[in-house]
Amino acid sequence: MLNRGYYDRFGGAFIPEILVPTFDELEQAFNDAQADPAFWQEYVELMSTYSCRATPLTRCDNLTGHFGGAQIYIKREDLNHTGAHKANNVMGQGLLTKRMGKTRVIAETGAGQHGVATATMAAKFGFDCTIYMGELDVERQRPNVFWMERMGAEVIPVTDGSRILKDAINEAFRDWVTNMDNTHYVLGTACGPHPFPTMVSWFQSIIGKEAREQILEAHGKLPRRAYACVGGGSNAMGLFSGFFDDPEVELVGVEAGGRGHGIGEHASRLAYDDASIGIAQGYKTYFLQDEDGQMQDTHSVSAGLDYVGVSPILASLHDNGRVRFEAATDKEVVEAMELTVRREGLIPALESSHGFVQAFKEVGDLDPQDAIIINQSGRADKDIFTVADAVKDPKWEEFIIAKAEEYRKHA
Amino acid sequence: MPENKLEQYIRQRREHKDLLLMTHIVLGYPSFDDSLRVVESMVEAGVDLMELQIPFSEPMADGPVILKANSDALSHGARVEKSFELAEQIVQRFDIPFVFMTYYNILFRHGVEKFVDEMAAIGIQGAIIPDLPPEEGEEYLAAMQRHDMAPIHIFTPNSSDERMQLLSERSAGMIYAVARKGVTGKETTFSDDLGDYLARCRAATSLPLALGFGVKSHDDLDFIRGKADIAVVGSETIRVLERDGVDGVAPFIEALQA
């Protein structure tokens, strides 16, 4: 093995022996790409013509007026093609897949955003594509499943374990240990064995690079704080990495507080005290597990944050204090989202709305001369069913019932 | 280096038998009582050594059959402590070597040294930890060596000769060669390619060689005979257990070796 990839005491590569040469090959390809300025250039070119980079930094005067305090800027990752920051990582790994000469990609997905992004990339590059998705997530994110299948991907519902994101990751690994010769596993977040945490963060660093330039341009100085939601941690790593060398910028990661404290009620590995250090899915980090090391159930209104582990890089930034971690509950998340929709006409995904909750709690205490950035990592179109249920929209319900009647008649 | 105890046993046993048989059970599946009865039938039917798997919630290297056995055992309350208690009873009652198979988090959470000390105390002779490459296993390997226990590493068709040598140097007791890519319990083609691979494994290590993954019939054992020292039958015994119950296990093992 070339490199063990540790961030303080977190990370590593706890992989089955059969994958050792595959990881060596991947690490080599990644190192070559990083050392080749033409690769990053090709990547930025692709993202600016196929997706929507640079994504804007939107100043939100109405929200700023509502809370008083610092000026609120929102980084618009929702404007990426396929509606989330996931495209950044996926297109980058797509270019690497081409370099390695592989013809098939597989991915896990929680909310379905990473699955849709991977299916899109596969369609564009001409790869075969299989997406593993927990059965529960298939149920709550049907619109994304619809698009993945339209784009030619095979979506396999995972019925093992707790039938969510972590189980989809296990299943993707089981595919990979069989098909590594022609297949690349496009892991969707800054987790997993080395080099994934570093590699995914590198592709996502495009967010922070742009945001830093944009805020200096718009506001004339660095922001006071930057907020991002944290599931696996890739959008947070993307935004935060732009400010790692700016100690005056406080970085705030917001996890899924679900229904509040207590194992099984949430997916907060760092903000709450329920997690402990362990090794699963090929890496060492804080996991929500029991004394024996068995992974426990998690809960969040947002499928994309409903994950038992967290990026080992963020775990080290938690322990050294560079990033502060908070949690937002399901209820707070829906409220923050509704407020943002109403005041600014922006539609942050339920995942992204976690970052909004914490920013809204604190922004009023900051100086009006200061600014904050919130990462709107994705858009909420995919969440329409979940949000409609949460806000109990009677007209939506009528619409769905009428639609169902219509299908029933044809059946 | 003096021969490890497990290696000695394998070599002595091989003097009388041209291919040894290792089987696999998941502790606590289908229940703790049944686990004990399954071991009993296997030993009586002539199994030479056994893997006892401590259940883990994320068994990444296992296929559907063993995956289900893991999660069923856990949902019936299989705690690590209980696995140790059962393993101790098994070791005391049956006169063949037993090794643990589990994932690294189980050791890590328990405390790696403490785990290995306790394994030694109850008489377990070795361990297979499929998600612990030797690069990450320093503490584990040192503890295993202190007790003269066998850390068993895995050869795969993708392993280079150089990698095999490194794995062999870090192992004791035996080497576990997987017959193919993929997870446990899927079809394996017993072909010339497999023969060539086994010859490569044989050349890379002087330790006894076990072959597993997809081994399930008398014919498979005939193929392996002469190419490896031990045949490993894992998922298939669990399938037999599911289909025919505990009473089906002994006839299956006897038929394999007939």
Higher pLDDT, A160 or B31: B31
User: Which residue on chain B is closest to A173 by alpha carbon?
Assistant: B60
Residue whose pair of structure tokens reads 């990752």 in the numeric block: A77
Residues B258 and B220: beta-carbon distance below 8 Å: no
Q: What pLDDT is stored for residue A383 in this prediction?
A: 81
Q: Does A280 touch chain B (CB under 8 A)?
A: yes
A295 neighbourhood in chain B, CB within 8 Å: 57-58
**CATH code for the domain defined by A6-48+85-196:** 3.40.50.1100
Q: Does A401 touch chain B (CB under 8 A)?
A: no
Query: What is the pairing mode between strands A6-7 and A10-11?
Result: antiparallel
- Give per-residue pLDDT as tens, A260-278: 999 999 999 999 999 999 9
The ipTM estimated for the assembled molecules is 0.95
Domain that holds residue B142: 5-257
A1: pLDDT confidence band, cut at 50, 70 and 90? low
A22 neighbourhood in chain B, CB within 8 Å: 158
Q: What pLDDT is stored for residue B191 in this prediction?
A: 86
Query: Which range, of A380-384, A398-402, B162-166, averages the lowest pLDDT?
Result: A380-384
Q: Is B118 a catalytic residue?
A: no
The β-bridge partners of A185 are A106
- Give per-residue pLDDT as tens, A43-68: 999 999 999 999 999 999 999 999 99
Task: Give me the residue spans of the domains in chain A.
Answer: 6-48+85-196, 54-83+205-389
Query: Which range, of A3-7, A201-205, A281-285, averages the lowest pLDDT?
Result: A3-7
A positions 106-165 inside 8 Å of B (CB): 160-161
Q: What is the C-alpha separation between A23 and A180, in angstroms, rounded?
A: 10
Query: What distance in Å separates residue B25's CA from the closest CA in chain A?
Result: 19
Q: What pLDDT is stored for residue A410 in this prediction?
A: 85
- Give per-residue pLDDT as tens, A368-391: 999 999 999 999 987 888 888 888
| Per-residue pLDDT at A3 exceeds 80 | no
Q: What pLDDT is stored for residue B186 in this prediction?
A: 82
Provide the percentage of residues in chain A whose pLDDT is more than 90. Answer: 90
* Residues A199-211, mean pLDDT to the nearest whole number: 98
**A54-83+205-389 has the same fold as A6-48+85-196:** yes
The two tokens of residue A175 are: 């595919």
Neighbouring CB atoms inside 10 A of B206's CB total 10
For B21, phi and psi rounded to 5 degrees?
-120, 125
Taking CA atoms, A386 is separated from A111, A300, A357, A369, in Å, by 11, 12, 18, 37
Q: For residue B122, what is the domain's CATH number?
A: 3.20.20.70
Q: What pLDDT is stored for residue A2 in this prediction?
A: 52
| Per-residue pLDDT at A165 exceeds 90 | no
Cross-chain Cβ contact B159/A1 below 8 Å: no
Question: Mean pLDDT for chain A?
Answer: 95
Q: What pLDDT is stored for residue B188 in this prediction?
A: 85
Provide the percentage of residues in chain B whose pLDDT is more than 70. Answer: 99
Cross-chain Cβ contact B133/A291 below 8 Å: no
User: Which residue on chain B is closest to A1 by alpha carbon?
Assistant: B135
- Give per-residue pLDDT as tens, B133-143: 999 999 999 99
- Give per-residue pLDDT as tens, B116-136: 999 999 999 999 999 999 999
Nearest to A86 by CA among A36, A127, A120: A120
The model scores a pTM over 0.90: yes
Nearest to A126 by CA among A145, A101, A89, A157: A101
The count of structural domains within chain B is 1
| Per-residue pLDDT at A354 exceeds 70 | yes
Q: What pLDDT is stored for residue A386 in this prediction?
A: 83
- Give per-residue pLDDT as tens, A172-195: 999 999 999 999 999 999 999 999
| Per-residue pLDDT at B1 exceeds 60 | no
Cross-chain Cβ contact A292/B159 below 8 Å: no
Who contacts B137 (Cβ-Cβ below 8 Å, separation ≥6)? B129, B151, B170
A111: pLDDT confidence band, cut at 50, 70 and 90? confident
Query: Which range, of A111-115, A120-124, A228-232, B49-53, averages the lowest pLDDT?
Result: A111-115
Cross-chain Cβ contact A174/B60 below 8 Å: yes
Residue of B7, B48, B62, B229 marked active site:
B62
Residues B6 and B97: beta-carbon distance below 8 Å: yes
A54-83+205-389 CATH pick, 3.40.50.1100, 3.40.50.150, 3.40.50.2300, 3.20.20.70: 3.40.50.1100
| Per-residue pLDDT at B244 exceeds 90 | yes
| Per-residue pLDDT at B175 exceeds 90 | yes
Which member of A14, A21, A174 has the closest CB to residue B183?
Answer: A174
Rounded to 10°, the helix B161-169/B192-204 angle is 50
The β-bridge partners of A128 are A104
A288 neighbourhood in chain B, CB within 8 Å: none
Taking CA atoms, A60 is separated from A67, A285, B118, in Å, by 11, 36, 60
